[in-house]
Structure 1
Amino acid sequence: MKIYPIEAGNFKLDGGAMFGVVPKTLWNKTNPADENNLIDIAARCMLIENENRLILIDTGMGNKQSEKFLSYYSLWGNHSLDGSLQKLGFHRDDITDVFMSHLHFDHCGGSVNWNKDRTGYEVAFKNAIFWTNDNHWEWATKPNAREKASFLHENIIPMQESGQLNFVKRPEGDFSFSKELEFNIFYVDGHTEKMMIPHVKYKDKTIVFCADLLPTAGHIPLPYVMGYDTRPLLTLPEKEKFLKTAAENNFYLWLEHDAHNEIITVENTEKGVRLKEVFKCSEILM
């Protein structure tokens, strides 16, 4: 089995929104903002090559949205999903499974493209099964007013219309694409309904794809909760449980949105769980 990082593009988000009630004087130390109060954000997806399966976890925001839409997110850098796949010798048609932590546009937008004549949409991975769960699908397709701008019809419905959409069965935490791949799921509801946090066994390590439970290394302290979370008071115990488990078991935490810290470990301290070590993906996956 092999695991690869897929950098699907960089953008910027408002630092205040990313850290909720935490004052800028505190979060700016770990996630410095520019003159517009924007901080650097990554879309670091994960690709798992296992026997005859090529599994992509999340797909970034894609490129089908309007210039006006994309201008809100101050795209920067040269990363792209296709470019990252190409560097590894893969093509999107090689992908057998697309596993989506949740269906916010910056996590699943790359799953759907314009069709050739731009009259409609088609799935971007024609040979893949798209994985979500039934509770989250219901939540995303009948969005509340707070999340409506994050659940975009054109990112979601084409997956169902293609006939390639599958649901992970719950409440079981265990889910595997094959007997040889240990792939477990931690479900959380603070950010959005039934977001899935995959735990992948890789050699002697457990690598956890943190999605929006822990967007960046700067979000480790418990009160550092995004303003985007729908149930921030639920995020607190979910994150506390997760971080304690991560520290006790020395999990390697794959940060999807941290543009500068790729994988981290955490440890228990007198002040609570805190950052232990920072790694490049290449150091852990070699």
Structure 2
Amino acid sequence: MKLYPIQCGKFKLDGGAMFGVVPKSLWERTNPADERNLIELGTRSLLMEDGKKLILIDCGLGNKQDDKFFGHYSLWGDDNLDKNLKKFGFVRDDITDVFLTHLHFDHCGGAIEWNADRTGYQPAFKNAQFWTNEEHWKWATEPNPREKASFLKENILPMQESGQLNFLPTPITGNYGFAPDLKMDVIFVDGHTEKQMLPVIRYQDKTVVFAADLIPTAGHVPQVYVMGYDTRPLLTMEEKGKFLKQCIDNEYLLFLEHDAHHELASLKMTEKGVRLDETYSLNDIFGY
């Protein structure tokens, strides 16, 4: 098996929204804001090559929304999914499976694109199966008012209409359907959104956890640094506390989806609790 970081694009969000009640004087040490209080973020996917399988975890914002939509998110940089797949010798049609941690637009928007004449939508990965779970699917297709703007119908419903949508069981009992021999577990967390899935991947002699929106950037490691976007922030803190203990006990490396500048992070225990230790690239750790 091999792992590849795929930066799908970069955007900005309000720093206060990303850190909730944490004072700016604290969070700006790790995530400096511009004159509009926006911080730099990424949409970094993880590509797993395992035998004949090529599995992509999340797929970024996509490009089918209009300029007004993207104007809210201050896109920057020249990264995109196709460019970074090509860097490792792949194209979209090579992808066999797209694993979606959850269905907010910045995690699944790239799964669906306009058709050729822009009269409708089609899967952006024509040879892939899409994977979510039934409880989260129901949450996304019958959204609460808080998350309605994050669950866009054009990102979600075409997956089902294409016949390429699949549900993973909750909890997962070892049979993934798409890759039964894959050395991966899944942690389910509900504070950010119902049944968000965090893949736990055993690779070489390390364990890499795709941290998704539980710990979106290196600046979000402390337990109480919780996003204002979370639907149940107190539950997030509880889940995060348990997860951070697992990370320390098992020496997990965190793969950071939304950190624009850091791919991987290790953690350490301090007198103030679990804190960031060091940041790395996949190449630093695995040497390719």
User: What secondary structure is seen at the aligned counterpart in 1 of 2:130?
Assistant: strand
Offset, 1:169: 0.9
Question: Which residue is equivalent to 2:179?
Answer: 178
CA distance in 1, matches of 2:203, 2:171: 24
CA distance in 2, matches of 1:180, 1:131: 17
Instruction: Please list the CA deviations of residues 205-244 of structure 1 after superposition, one character each: whole Å capped at 9, or x if unmatched.
Output: 1110000000011111111100000000100010001111
User: What secondary structure is seen at the aligned counterpart in 1 of 2:132?
Assistant: strand
Query: Does 1:74 find its partner at 2:96?
Result: no
User: What secondary structure is seen at the aligned counterpart in 1 of 2:167?
Assistant: strand
Question: Which residue is equivalent to 2:281?
Answer: 280
Question: Which residue identity is paired with 2:195?
Answer: K
Question: Which residue is equivalent to 1:238?
Answer: 239
RMSD: 1.0
Q: Show structure 2 runs of 5+ residues with no match.
A: none
The runs of at least 4 aligned residues of structure 1 exceeding 2 Å deviation read 172-180
Give the TM-score normalised by structure 1. 0.98
Instruction: Please list the CA deviations of residues 173-206 of structure 1 after superposition, one character each: whole Å capped at 9, or x if unmatched.
Output: 5454434421100000000000000001101111
Offset, 1:18: 0.1
- Number of matched pairs: 286
Question: Which residue identity is paired with 1:214?
Answer: I
Q: Is the 8 A contact 1:175 1:183 kept in 2?
A: no
Q: Is the 8 A contact 1:6 1:44 kept in 2?
A: yes
Question: Which residue is equivalent to 2:85?
Answer: 85
CA distance in 2, matches of 1:71, 1:224: 27
CA distance in 1, matches of 2:284, 2:189: 29
CA distance in 1, matches of 2:109, 2:173: 26
CA distance in 2, matches of 1:52, 1:165: 20
Identity %: 63
User: What secondary structure is seen at the aligned counterpart in 2 of 1:243?
Assistant: helix
CA distance in 2, matches of 1:112, 1:101: 16
Offset, 1:88: 1.2
CA distance in 1, matches of 2:285, 2:139: 35
Question: Which residue is equivalent to 2:15?
Answer: 15
Offset, 1:108: 0.1
Alignment of 1:139-154 (within 5 A): 139-154=139-154
Query: Does 1:264 find its partner at 2:259?
Result: no
Query: Does 1:46 find its partner at 2:46?
Result: yes
Give the TM-score normalised by structure 2. 0.97
